[in-house]
Structure 1
Amino acid sequence: MTQPPEPEPGTHGACSELAFDLLEWLGEQPESAATIDETLRAVAAERRRLLLSVLEEHEQELTLPDAAEEVAQCETGKPITELSAERVANVYISLYHDHLPRLVDAGLLEYDQERDLVAPASF
């Protein structure tokens, strides 16, 4: 699958331009409308997109606490040493209770609860 076009940041009407570019790109894809809708719902939240990016970057499974640290770093732009334990715990809790189940249900991630490991889904 090819990548969607990159929007120009900070341009007037960037949101509408992105929407129309995305619609055009999606129209060229062979996936069904239902699959596209499910995928868009799964990646609608920035935190879910960050988790997917972190796992893609590492190309291996991570513990959910380690993934939460990396997501918190991405969200804040700060190194882990500057993040409070409370901030990382809040990210972990939201990943565990909200974002991770949605990504697992969409078939994008796998989660081993006994080992608290998260990994990209096997294709």
Structure 2
Amino acid sequence: VDTKRSPEELVLVDWVWELHSNGKLLQAADPRLNEYPVEEVGLVLELGLLCSHPHPEARPNMRQVVQMLAGDKPPPVVNSDPPWAADTPLMSKRFDDFNTTSHATTSSYGKRTITSDGTSPVALLVGRD
């Protein structure tokens, strides 16, 4: 943790979601990288957002992550809003104070929208195996 960061940047997931929501995702890249392949860093940051989804059943499995990193599988489109913004009872919450609940939820990624009752595992990503 870089102690020189602002309090808003200390909860990494919240900070990266905020940057992503504002179209500035690449600002989350470590400035010590100097030069880097923009597409690859963008992919890794988006996968990080998907892997930190507050609903475990919405996260890609490691096989899918490896396939996406290798370019064998296209990554899903990551919504610009954090996943907890769609949960009405949790709208004021951020990742660091998110509590898992067992109410019905709807998750949207690009053109995919799937509803889950929050208690049974549901593959929310197309092709999840």
Report if TM-score (shorter chain) is over 0.5: no
Please say which structure displays the higher CA radius of gyration.
1
Task: Give the TM-score taking structure 2 as reference length.
Answer: 0.30
Task: Give the TM-score taking structure 1 as reference length.
Answer: 0.31
Identify the structure with the greater helix proportion.
1
